[in-house]
Amino acid sequence: MKFIKTLTVSALALSVSAPAAFAEWEPRKPVEFIIMAGTGGGADQIARLLQGLIEKKDLSSRPFIPINKPGGSGAEAMRYLQDKAGDNHTIMMTLNSFYTTPIIQPDLGVDVTQFTPIGLMAMDTFLLWVNSDRDDITDLDSYVAAVKGAGLDWKVGGTGSGQEDSVLTAMMEAAFDYKVTYIPFPGGGTVAKNLIGNQIDSTVNNPAEQMEFYRAGNSKPLVQFTTERMPAFPDVPTAKELGVDIEYFMQRSVNGPPGMDPEAVEFYVNLFGELFASQEWQDFCTSDGLTCENFMTGSDLGEFHKSNVVAHTALIEQVGASAITGE
Amino acid sequence: MAAAIASFIGGTVSIILFTMFAPPLAVFALKFGPQEEFALMLLAFATFIGLGGDDIPKTIFSILLGLVLAAVGFDIISGQPRMIFFDMVEFQRGIGFLVLAIGIYGIGEMLWTLESTKGQIKMHNVKITWARMKENFGEIGQYINSTWVGSFIGFFVGTLPAAGATPAALMSYGLSKTFSKDPDSYGKGNISGVAAPEAANNAASTGSMLPMLTLGIPGSPTTAILLGGMIIWGLRPGPLLFQESPDFVWGLIGSMYVANVVTVLLNLALIPVFIRVLAMPFTLLTPIIFVLCVLGVFATTDRMFDTWIMLFIGVVGYLMRKLNYPVAPAVLAIVLGPLAERSMRQSLISSQGDITTFVTRPISLTCVLLALLLVSYPLIQRYTRKRKAAAATE
């Protein structure tokens, strides 16, 4: 209820300040849809699906162009968006490195709470995956035993130091008291491929990134880091069920650069709100294990970002920034 | 003409390979870990040595310059900013391949041509006749070998996730130049120098469909767009796609055959139009090239900063040409540098610093040995030539 109330209040406030300008703003040139991760990963798949739906449903008179900027765990993308302050034709698909990267790299000079929140499309999560060739690993206990046996020879693939999967890997190291070698790859899709090719021993991938390999019987999930079991993975236990206190979610939200015009924000909020409610998006959420229950936007999303920055600062302090960057 | 035909051959060879061997090739692509990727990059760098001509130290300098420029921006593993000249935040975004390539080949070449011809260059008005076209077809024999080289290299490099068409085209150019009977004529009108990269370019774009369809990893921006399109229609690229949606996959492959034929027909039919550009006086062409260079960089990067960098690099490129430094290796290094750096560091992290990791894996060992062979080839060649010359004077 509070959510709807804030929404109404902010909508009212806005309508008073600029009565006729609403819904009239439209992009005047192609919109750059920045993805702060590499091709084939979860964020990339989502952004490209959304871009296709915008075109299919004819929601914008100008095209949305997805551009991957995966460098430095999203640092490149955030720096880019920061430089675009006041630009109405650049938006970004974000994930949790939106919070973690600026904390680990204070030199970057980016404050994410200054960005313009547009809409939260989904909450994603992670599972722990191994190659299905590993007959010796059937559950969490045998996994932990295998990792402890291998020591630093155990290779975990991820998308970069400071990315959410490295945070999760550090959380697991702390919980199970082992140390692994963490190898960064340019995107979740490449991580998944390297697990199937036996170049690495385990990953924490999003459901969407491993789904096709899982269906083909190339990889198997051991644990999910959710509160409850996802409908897409009814047989995989949660970490909580196994007595391990790790729960981790990843936000998938669209944000703009600092200082966007309110008319433009209104346009993007309406557009992504419509996409969120579409059958295609909801079907994708179900099949890929995403939670898409409410479309958070405006100041609510801003508050959500703020609380996540606080939570991640605490988390990184707890596991230690050095455990994440591997230095 | 040669470009169109080489392109067609490259495209066709790679579609046939694709049609016959897609599933086993997907398995092969999985065998490519960071070590193999690095070894392949090493092989690519080795082909550059042949590129630069006889002056190997100058070629190495040019490669290093490219590598330094490629390192500007964020460290790809730790994400820390590095090589930020004069502490200017603008450098955090790095120096793009496009900025460098347009600077060197656009502005640099323009300045060089202006100086060397003093603006007095004469363009000829080429007449297209059936007789000339026929004659051109007869010349296929001259460049067919480099076309085959380009086709196969292009396809295999293209199938590796994240490699793409640019390294493939550059590698095949370097290779066909190294093994050419007349390497000095490359870049001065030898048609094989056009045929090899054209064939490779087209073959690689077909090859890059492979990781996209079978692994769900797009190897190029183009396949990334295709991937998005497929997801909307409920098709999920991955190992099961060939079994679950055979009508779609084979339809797609069929369309590639058709597209290839249509492209070559269009290219041949439009030659008379394209060739008109050659009839334009150079004094008119120069300002057009300049405007396009500036516009091109600004349009893609949206920053005046990159445009200034491009102009600056253009002047550097001109000076390099004047001092007889080869420029192509610098351009190649900026494309392959980040890929090589990432795969090398990944390999060393996973082997915990043990450098033998590159020679204990079969595919990687083969690439390393081939690279050594390629680097030493020009030296051996020069040695045998000297001996022959010595024998002749005796």
Helix B192-207, helix B165-178: angle, nearest 10: 150
Give the closest residue to B262 by CA, choosing from B3, B4, B59.
B4
Question: What residues of chain A, 36 to 95, have a C-beta less than 8 Å from chain B?
Answer: 39-40, 44-45, 48-49, 51-53, 56, 66, 68, 71-73, 75-76, 79-80, 83
Mutate to test the interface with A, among B83, B95, B227, B242 (most CBs of A within 10 A): B227
Cα A317 from Cα B98, distance rounded (Å): 40
B10 contact partners, CB below 8 Å, separation of at least 6: B147, B150, B151, B154, B155, B198, B199, B200, B201, B202, B203
Q: What is the mean pLDDT of residues A274-287?
A: 91
- In the predicted model, is pLDDT for residue B376 greater than 90? no
State the count of interchain CB pairs (< 8 A) between A and B: 138
Task: Please indicate, yes or no, whether residues A212 and A278 belong to a single structural domain of this protein.
Answer: no
Question: Contact B169/B197 with Cβ under 8 angstroms?
Answer: yes
Residue A75 in contact with residue B82, Cβ under 8 Å?
no
Using a CB-CB cut-off of 8 Å, the residues of chain A touching B73 are 71-72, 76
Q: What percent of chain A has pLDDT over 90?
A: 46
Domain membership of residue A19 (yes or no) is no
Chain A residue whose CA is closest to B31:
A197
Choose, out of B346, B351, B354, B363, the residue to mutate when testing the contact with A (most A CBs < 10 Å). Answer: B346
Lowest mean pLDDT of A123-137, A220-234, B276-290, name the range. Answer: B276-290
Total domain count for chain A? 2
In a domain, A177, yes or no: yes
Residues A259 and A111 in one domain: yes
Domain final residue pick, A221, A248, A275:
A248
Q: Is residue A20 part of a domain?
A: no
Facing residue for B217 by CB, picked from A49, A71, A193: A193
3-state secondary structure (DSSP) of residue B233: coil
Tokens linked to B69: 């420029």
Nearest to A181 among B93, B237, B349 (CB): B349
Report whether A131 contacts A191 (CB < 8 A): no
Looking at the predicted structure, is the pLDDT value of residue A20 above 60? no
pLDDT for B54 equals 63
Task: Name the nearest CA neighbour of B79 among A324, A288, A242.
Answer: A324
- Flag the least confident range among A45-59, B146-160, B222-236: B222-236
Tell me the per-residue pLDDT of B95-132, one tens digit each, with 9 for 90 and over.
888 898 899 989 998 888 888 877 565 555 566 667 77
A208 shares its domain with A134: yes
Q: Does B140 have pLDDT greater than 60?
A: yes
Is residue B188 predicted with pLDDT exceeding 90? no
Is the reported ipTM for this assembly greater than 0.85? Answer: no
Question: Going by C-beta distance under 8 Å and a sequence separation of 6 or more, which residues neighbour residue B147?
Answer: B5, B6, B9, B10, B195, B196, B199
How confident is the model at residue A135, as a pLDDT? 92
Q: How confident is the model at residue B186 (pLDDT cuts 50, 70, 90)?
A: confident
Least CB–CB distance from A45: residue in B33, B231, B350: B231
- Per-residue pLDDT at A23: 53
Query: Which domain range does residue A266 map to?
Result: 27-124+250-322
**Sorting pLDDT into bands at 50, 70 and 90, what band is A235?**
very high
The two three-digit tokens of residue A273, written as one number: 């709100």
Q: Which residues of A touch B228 (CB under 8 A)?
A: 48-49, 51-52, 66
Structure confidence by residue, pLDDT tens digits, A142-177: 999 999 999 889 999 998 777 788 889 988 998 899
Which residue type, as a one-letter code, is found at position A50?
L
**Segment B294-326, tens digit of pLDDT:** 999 988 777 889 999 999 999 999 999 889 888
Among A226, A248, A270, residue at a domain's last position: A248
Rg from Cα positions in chain B: 22
> What residues of B are in the A interface, CB distance below 8 Å?
29-34, 73-81, 89, 92-94, 161-162, 211, 215-218, 224-225, 227-229, 231-232, 236-241, 303, 342, 346, 349-350, 352
Residue A193 lies in a domain: yes
Residue A86, Ramachandran bin (φ over 0: left; ψ between -120 and 50: alpha; else beta): left
User: Are A86 and A193 part of one and the same domain?
Assistant: no
SS3 state of residue A206: coil
A50 plus A99 within the same structural domain: yes
Per DSSP, which regions of chain B are E strands?
Answer: 73-74, 81-82
Is the CB of B76 less than 8 angstroms away from the CB of A76? no
> Is there a single domain that holds both residue A203 and residue A166?
yes
Chain A residues in contact with B238 (beta carbon < 8 A): 211-213, 215-216
* B228-237 contact pairs (CB < 8 A, 24+): B228/A48, B228/A49, B228/A51, B228/A52, B228/A66, B229/A52, B231/A45, B231/A48, B231/A49, B231/A52, B231/A284, B232/A49, B232/A52, B232/A53, B232/A56, B232/A280, B236/A211, B236/A212, B237/A212, B237/B212, B237/B213
Q: Which residues of B touch A45 (CB under 8 A)?
A: 227, 231
Last residue of a domain, one of A248, A276, A307: A248
CATH number of A176's domain: 3.40.190.10
Q: Given the structure tokens 């606080």, which residue do they identify?
A: A310
How crowded is residue B44: how many other Cβ atoms within 10 Å of its Cβ? 27
Distance from CA of A156 to the nearest CA of B (A): 9
Task: Enter the DSSP assignment of B103.
Answer: I
pLDDT confidence of residue B120: 64
> Do residue A162 and residue B80 have CB atoms under 8 angstroms apart?
no
Of A45, A186, A197, the CB nearest to B30: A197
Query: Are residues A118 and A45 both part of a single domain?
Result: yes
Average pLDDT over residues B52-69: 82
Nearest chain B residue to A57, by CA:
B232
The answer to the question of residue A179 being in a domain is: yes
Q: For residue B69, which of B338, B322, B339 has the smallest C-alpha distance?
A: B338
Specify if A163 maps to a domain: yes
Residue A44: inside a domain: yes
The rounded distance, in Å, linking the Cα atoms of B328 and B66 is 10
Taking the domains of chain B in order of start, what are their residue ranges? 2-97+123-281+325-393
3-class DSSP assignment, residue A224: strand
C-beta separation of B284 from B297 below 8 A: no
Do A72 and A101 form a contact (C-beta atoms < 8 A)?
Answer: yes
Check whether residue A200 and residue A228 sit in a common domain. Answer: yes
Q: Which letter does DSSP use for residue B127 in this model?
A: P
Chain B contacts of A193, Cβ < 8 Å?
30, 161, 211, 215, 217
User: Alpha-carbon distance A60 to A54, whole Å?
Assistant: 7
User: Strand, helix or coil at A41?
Assistant: coil
For residue B391, how many C-alpha atoms fall within 13 Å in the half-sphere facing its CB?
A: 6
Place of tokens 């690439």: B367
Are residues A129 and A244 located together in one domain of the fold? Answer: yes
| Residue A105: inside a domain | yes
Q: How many other CB atoms sit within 10 Å of the CB of residue A83?
A: 18
End-to-end distance of chain A based on CA atoms, in angstroms?
46
Cβ–Cβ of A197/B93 closer than 8 Å? no
DSSP string, A145-159: HHHHHHGGG-EEEES
For A84-132, what is each residue's pLDDT tens digit? 899 999 999 999 989 988 888 887 888 899 999 999 999 988 999 999 9
